[in-house]
Amino acid sequence: MTPTRILVLNSGSSSVKYQLLDMRDRTRLAVGLVEKIGEDTSALAHTPLLGENAGRKRVQETRFADHAEALKAVAEELTADGIGLDSPELAAIGHRVVHGGLKFSAPTVITDEVMAEIERLVPVAPLHNPANITGIKTAQALRPDLPQVAVFDTAFHTTMPEYAARYAIDVETADAHRIRRYGFHGTSHAYVSRKTAELLGKTPEEVNVIVLHLGNGASASAVAGGRCVDTSMGLTPLEGLVMGTRSGDLDPAVIFHLERVAGMSTDEIDTLLNKKSGLVGLCGDNDMREIRRRIDAGDKQAALAFEIYIHRLKKYIGAYSAVLGKVDAVAFTAGVGENAAPVREAAVAGLEELGLAVDADLNSVRSDEPRLISPEYARVAVAVVPTDEELEIATQVYDLVSK
């Protein structure tokens, strides 16, 4: 029997999201999430998606001291469903790794050298790569015989031309510290741009797409003929769009000002810009549903936060229209992009000169399927394309190990 199952792990500093998929028919066998690893009470929510318990979520609240304990508990849950990790059907474990630097432009089987490079990138991804490394080591200990494959969030963006990736700062300083635009959410941008081409009945090579990944983190990318040519996140996921808790673009001098005038430390500024800014900083809420509810109730602060969010989005749509020259589609994805019709409507409003328009009826349809929301006459298609990073990671991993 050829093994066809892939376990996908997305390890954060205190969490692990996982999915077990069977790539024969690209179905999900189980999904789950462990949170608050290392805290007094951790939580494991596990849902089998086949067999007699399909769809029945099981929640455990107990302490998992570290990722190793958490993954052991996940393995036990999978065993209880008859799909344990000791199965000969498991082909590989795929890991989402946030920062792959410039070296990794494709999914990569993790060797000692690959691991050393992921570790070398910790200074440019201090929040993310250490957690990914822990996840990999834990999975290696669990199944040392299996291929462990890294799929990098930065990989899709390695095709950006040098003039889009470089910041206009002293070249020697930039190179010494590997400072440049790397971009993130690459797995999603790759998947959604490809799916958008499919929706238009074209190959990825035939179309230019602007992808707007609007989740709690948010990023835009310009994709020309299937290759990323620009993206809004930079050295870290802080740059670009207004996000749930991150500021996105600002004058870098704001940082010196906060240091010199407000007396804030580097760590305090880091926390301010990453955790206390964006929508939450502007109005106290980062959930778009709540913000819309407040706007409907006449809340001016929420309305201004929404306007700032939309203004930034428009600027990126305009910028990437110019970067691409010709745009075939704008695709909205992730939590906000897939669900918040008012965001889609407002982001495109007034951009008729760029060939963009949204049909109100189509925009209000709720669906899990990729769909067009632009009127037939519009020159540029506007699409809602649900992202599926886990499926994309599993597909890339399976393609690599089944060759």
The residues binding ligand ADP (CB under 6 A) are: 215-217, 244, 286-289, 334-336, 339-340
Q: Considering the complex, state which of residue 226 and residue 244 has its C-beta at the smaller distance from ligand ADP.
A: 244
List the binding residues for substrate: 96
> Nearest Cα to 161, choosing from 189, 183, 185?
183
In the complex, the smallest distance separating the C-beta of residue 289 from ligand ADP, rounded to whole angstroms, is 4
In the complex, the smallest distance separating the C-beta of residue 387 from ligand ADP, rounded to whole angstroms, is 8
Q: Considering the complex, state which of residue 92 and residue 184 has its C-beta at the smaller distance from ligand ADP.
A: 184
Minimal CB distance to ligand ADP: which residue? 335
Q: Considering the complex, state which of residue 226 and residue 335 has its C-beta at the smaller distance from ligand ADP.
A: 335
Question: Which residues, 6+ apart, have CB-to-CB distance to 305 below 8 Å?
Answer: 279, 282, 283, 285, 291
CA dist 21 and 29 (Å) reads: 5
Which strands make up the sheet holding 208-214, listed edge to edge? Answer: 227-231, 218-224, 208-214, 329-333, 381-384, 371-372
List the binding residues: 10, 17, 96, 213-217, 287-289, 335-339, 389
Cα dihedral sign, 50-51-53-59: negative
Q: Per DSSP, which regions of 84-204 are E strands?
A: 90-97, 108-109, 148-152
Identify the three-state secondary structure at position 117: helix
Q: Judge whether 22 counts as a catalytic residue.
A: no
Question: Which residues, 6+ apart, have CB-to-CB distance to 75 below 8 Å?
Answer: 84, 85, 142
In the complex, the smallest distance separating the C-beta of residue 333 from ligand ADP, rounded to whole angstroms, is 8
Angle at 222 between CA 21 and CA 94, to 5 degrees: 20
CA dist 195 and 329 (Å) reads: 11
Q: Which of 153, 285, 328, 388 is catalytic?
A: 153
In the complex, the smallest distance separating the C-beta of residue 245 from ligand ADP, rounded to whole angstroms, is 10
List the binding residues for Mg(2+): 10, 389
Q: Considering the complex, state which of residue 231 and residue 286 has its C-beta at the smaller distance from ligand ADP.
A: 286
The residues annotated with a catalytic role in the active site are: 153
